[in-house]
Structure 1
Amino acid sequence: MIDAVTVERYGLPGHLRSVPDEIDAVGLPVTGVLPPELTGRYVRNGPNALPGQSTGLFQAGPGMLHGVRLREGRAEWYRNRWVRTGAFHGRPFVGPAGIDRTAVSANTHVVHHADRIFALVEVGLPYEVTPDLGTVGPCDFGGRLTTAMTAHPKRDPATGELHFFGYGMFPPYLTYHRLDAKGELVHSREVAVAAGTMMHDFAITEHYALWLDLPVTFRLEPAGRGGMPYGWDEGHGARLGLMRRDVPDAPVHWFEIEPCFVFHVGNAYEDDSGRVVLDAVRYSPEEFTSLWSLLTRSGALTGAGAVAGRALLHRWTLDPATGGVTEEALDSQEVEFPTLDDERIGRRARYLYTVTGTDPRSVGRCAIVKYDLVSGTADRHDLDADTVIGEAVFVASGDGRRGEDDGWLVSVTTRRDGSASRLIVLDAADLPAGPVAAVELPRAVPTGFHGSWFPDPGPT
């Protein structure tokens, strides 16, 4: 069991230690049989300190992309590359001229939209990268993006539009943005909130954007000391906001909820009666403050990257007609990093995939947990005690799918001592059966944050 004192005394555990260089490897060994329809690239982002440098906080390190190229049952290559941002080259985020939104870590997520790939972190501009993980540079969409961009944009599967937001420490505190399917920034608007809150994620439905205005607000004092500039604010309150995204400048309908915090949303949808259902991973005030105390100490970390604690899958049901809201826990086991079939984003989805056992204070094994939100049951794949797993990304099996879970879950596992890593592939319809294939990676990949699957056809 790893706590902050252990970290500070002995350093990062092996599965989180940064790698010192960039490498390329080809013809990777495969155990089992890779599904031939898995032809594309899996790319995952996470912090990785430069050799001889320390950022003080593990989660603030420069972004590094790790990619594996699969083609027709073969694992053709692995490579890793730092995202060469302004911060990578030594420029400060805050200088005499103010905030430099290109001087960021770009270490949280990597997404694809309109034939472009972006490395993301929520405090600055996105950085475009190539399919081979080289850095192109910062992107402000022709000068139209003047705020930061969230690391968790949402693509509407019906329209192909990409919805996202930027939050700030100073006004405007929250700004909503929309890219069309061609990648043009076509709409931006400020959303009125009372303070600068840490809004890591949000949700969309067919007609709404759903905001999480929760009681973690900007703090100037720790920011001045180089620490995390946010903290729990007992007086801020907690509320969820519904905003029609198909009506320009539509008002936000706010729903007061019990104080809590959410790092990651699972999904949201509109039910047959017009209510909006949100599933997300909820931290109680006590669990969040315990976690935040751990994270904001120098070198502090968690087993799956930057999130741990007794976080439970939770559901809120919002009724725009009555203004009522109900809340319920969907499970009693701690989970994080919820994912789903991207074609179900904003629509009713039966399955949600999470990871558990990654809290460094936990003695349990890591596992992937699949929730059936219709039957209320859960399946899981447990790893051995010496292995840590990251977020599991769903990849649909292709044309002729038999069901919503007809596809694969892809994730990177790393030995706790940092001695080896594998890319594993599981049948999403049968997690207990274990991996159908595993790709042996040429080095240990530090456990990081979020990743994506970029299917062919595309650049080679």
Structure 2
Amino acid sequence: MSEQPVPAWMAGHLAPVPDEISAVDLRVTGALPAELTGRYLRNGPNPRPGETSPHWFTGHGMLHGLRLRGGRAEWYRNRWVRTRVFTEDAPFIREDLTFDRAAVPANTHVVPHAGKILALVEIGFPYEVTPELDTVGPCDFGGRLTGAMTAHPKEDPVTGELLFFGYGFAPPYLTYHRLSSTGELVESREIEVPGPTMMHDFAITARHVVWMDLPVVFDGDLVMNGAGIPYRWDDGYGARLGVMPRSGGPVRWFEVDPCYVFHVGNAYEDEEGRIVLDGARYDADSFQGIWGDIGRTTEHDTAHAASVHWKSVMHRWTLDPATGKAVEEQLDDRNVEFPTHDDTRTGHGHRYLYTVADEAIVKYDLRTGASRALELGDGDAPGEAVFVPAADRGAEDEGWLLSIVSDRSGGGSELLVLNAADLSHQATVHLPRRVPAGFHGSWIPDGEVSP
């Protein structure tokens, strides 16, 4: 009997590591800015030895952390997030068909808020962890959160509130939530949508929330077929963006061309009152291509994925309340993902976005339309580039970009520190082990969370 081939998400630079380690006094090439005093944490899926996963998105969450201080890289460590799935193999769906929102992998993002650090996945509760990456436990905000929490909450830089949502394959399909700046869940309300879509991200502006109701939908038949994540493209669902006043009121929907967006860059209201949204856009073929590449779906989908070179490109949607129309504009033809920006500009006008390509980090100047790319070496796979602003800066892009770069052949990894203004090399922290390509992370300066 022939062996099953190793899935792409279990090999090369995506392959999991077998254990947890700690290392101190890491070697640095170049000069780490003394201002970078804090922790860079990044999350991603990492099955345990002997385990496999039916989809890249379903492995146990593993946090990788670096402690930087005074121009030194003091330590690296990696730790699994010890959820109920990890420690007890607890089922997400109980025998009575209710959901255990603590039985989730917590593998997608890690963010600070109100003095806590939260490891996130979009189907359940967040898990609180310590600055040293030890797991505290699931967080339901004093019992007020009863459903899922997105892995992409948005912190308002003015109010300090954390806005987020949860989606599900049973009603309510979409629920909006708001945390106060002190971490209290102060608002939850259902948002009406036609059906159970996979809404991975959303956006906020100073006065609005922007929803993405797009044609990737839950399919119960895929559960029976063993799909890791039972969602598929549906040509009949339609595609629309919704604008909802943060102060309350109905959602106004704008029809757009069919597409899917995993990740937005930012959104804001322009001087004419229009809503401007930037994101990495997939068309139908590209979405189905990547969905087959990173998970076992149906035989048809897998064959389709093998024949399609998937691509996502930066796109801008301008939603005009006066006309009820959406104008769509392609910003570039590069295949990029993981758009990031200066978090102090979240919900407000932004000039720069940072993205990653197969072997490059790409910066967009949205005022001039120019872009700049730092090409890395052959086989080097950059992770999401997180922007850290410089103190007392005079320009929006005065600061640094942090990205974990991994060797596609399964070799080593390093933390790359770039000058965000021109993408020039600032420093490289040589990591003591390979770090699997993962998802999202955060820079957490000293003083932002409790020690």
Paired residue type of 1:449: F
* Contact 2:317–2:327 (Cα < 8 Å) also in 1: yes
Secondary structure of 1:107 counterpart:
coil
CA displacement at 1:291 relative to structure 2:
1.8
- Rounded Cα–Cα distance in structure 2 between residues aligned with 1:391 and 1:139: 26
Q: Which residue of 2 aligns with 1:168?
A: 168
- Rounded Cα–Cα distance in structure 1 between residues aligned with 2:147 and 2:377: 43
- Rounded Cα–Cα distance in structure 1 between residues aligned with 2:336 and 2:294: 17
**Corresponding position: 1:200 with 2:190:** no
Q: Which residue of 1 aligns with 2:435?
A: 445
CA displacement at 1:424 relative to structure 2:
0.9
TM-score (norm: length of structure 2): 0.94
CA displacement at 1:53 relative to structure 2:
1.3
Paired residue type of 1:402: G
Q: Which residue of 2 aligns with 1:436?
A: 426
Paired residue type of 1:453: W
Gaps of 5+ in 1: 302-307, 358-365
Q: Which residue of 1 aligns with 2:305?
A: none
Q: Which residue of 2 aligns with 1:106?
A: 106
**Corresponding position: 1:279 with 2:272:** no
- Write out aligned runs for 1:274-423 (5 A): 274-297=273-296, 309-357=310-358, 366-398=359-391, 400-423=392-415
Q: Which residue of 1 aligns with 2:48?
A: 50
Paired residue type of 2:161: E
Q: Which residue of 2 aligns with 1:256?
A: 255
Secondary structure of 1:99 counterpart:
coil
Q: For 1:80, which of 70, 78, 81 is the aligned residue?
A: 78
Gaps of 5+ in 2: 303-308
CA displacement at 1:7 relative to structure 2:
6.1
Describe the superposition over 1:360-391 as per-residue Cα deviations: whole angstroms up to 9, x where unpaired.
xxxxxx10000000000001111100211110
* Contact 2:265–2:278 (Cα < 8 Å) also in 1: yes
* Contact 1:13–1:416 (Cα < 8 Å) also in 2: no
CA displacement at 1:11 relative to structure 2:
7.9
Describe the superposition over 1:58-101 as per-residue Cα deviations: whole angstroms up to 9, x where unpaired.
32100000000000100000000000001112111112032111
Q: Which residue of 2 aligns with 1:238?
A: 239
- Rounded Cα–Cα distance in structure 2 between residues aligned with 1:59 and 1:213: 21
% same residue:
59
Q: Which residue of 2 aligns with 1:120?
A: 120
- Rounded Cα–Cα distance in structure 2 between residues aligned with 1:58 and 1:153: 21
CA displacement at 1:294 relative to structure 2:
2.2
The alpha-carbon distance between structure 1 residues 181 and 290, as it changes in their structure 2 partners (threshold 3 A), is: same
Paired residue type of 1:23: I
Describe the superposition over 1:285-327 as per-residue Cα deviations: whole angstroms up to 9, x where unpaired.
12112222222328x99xxxxxx92101001100112211111
Secondary structure of 1:35 counterpart:
coil
The alpha-carbon distance between structure 1 residues 84 and 274, as it changes in their structure 2 partners (threshold 3 A), is: same
Secondary structure of 1:287 counterpart:
helix
Q: Which residue of 2 aligns with 1:140?
A: 140
* Contact 1:215–1:234 (Cα < 8 Å) also in 2: yes
The alpha-carbon distance between structure 1 residues 270 and 11, as it changes in their structure 2 partners (threshold 3 A), is: closer
- Rounded Cα–Cα distance in structure 2 between residues aligned with 1:282 and 1:27: 41
* Contact 2:94–2:100 (Cα < 8 Å) also in 1: yes
The alpha-carbon distance between structure 1 residues 374 and 103, as it changes in their structure 2 partners (threshold 3 A), is: same
- Rounded Cα–Cα distance in structure 2 between residues aligned with 1:62 and 1:353: 28
- Rounded Cα–Cα distance in structure 1 between residues aligned with 2:325 and 2:53: 44
The alpha-carbon distance between structure 1 residues 322 and 119, as it changes in their structure 2 partners (threshold 3 A), is: same
- Rounded Cα–Cα distance in structure 2 between residues aligned with 1:369 and 1:10: 25
Question: Which segment drifts farther, 171-180 or 381-390?
Answer: 381-390
TM-score (norm: length of structure 1): 0.92
CA RMSD between the two structures = 1.7
